[in-house]
Amino acid sequence: MKPRILTGMVAGILLLASSAAHAFLGWPPFAKALAQLGADSDVTGGLQMGWMWGSATLFGCGLIVVFAAIGRWRGRPFDPVPSRIVAGCLLAFGIGAFLARDFNPHFLLFIVLGVLVRFFAAGE
């Protein structure tokens, strides 16, 4: 398997794993912290829907990249645009969040994933 294709598979699988971690490991402690602050259930419920949307979006982006990598590996015509959009979104969010959240290293994951997906979506 060519390095670019392998990179795409790895990045896509990491996105899929991140979506599960985001939903099932990230939300419960966040919800607990909101409850300890006395946040209204309407506020918590609204935030949960946004949080789960983020998890679903990570999952969808992971599927886009994995299926693009599988298609490329099988020799199908490769359209890099969807993967480049995923990479651009990951990079924009990661850089913006990293800067806005006082250089919190958690957001470096988005930047690394964006770089990996962009490498995959580059030329041959």
Q: How confident is the model over 74-83, as a mean pLDDT?
A: 96
| Percent of the chain whose predicted confidence (pLDDT) is above 70 | 99
Report the Cα–Cα distance between both ends of the chain, in Å, rounded. 13
pLDDT of residue 32: 96
**pLDDT of 66 above 80:** yes
Q: How many domains does the chain have?
A: 1
**pLDDT of 123 above 80:** no
What value does the mean pLDDT of the chain take?
97
Alpha helices of the chain — where are they, by DSSP H?
3-21, 27-36, 41-73, 81-100, 108-120
Please, what sign has the CA dihedral across residues 94, 100, 104, 106? negative
* pTM exceeds 0.85: yes
State which amino acid sits at residue 67.
Answer: F
Show the domain range for 101: 3-120
Residue 102 CA, chain-centre distance (Å), reads 20
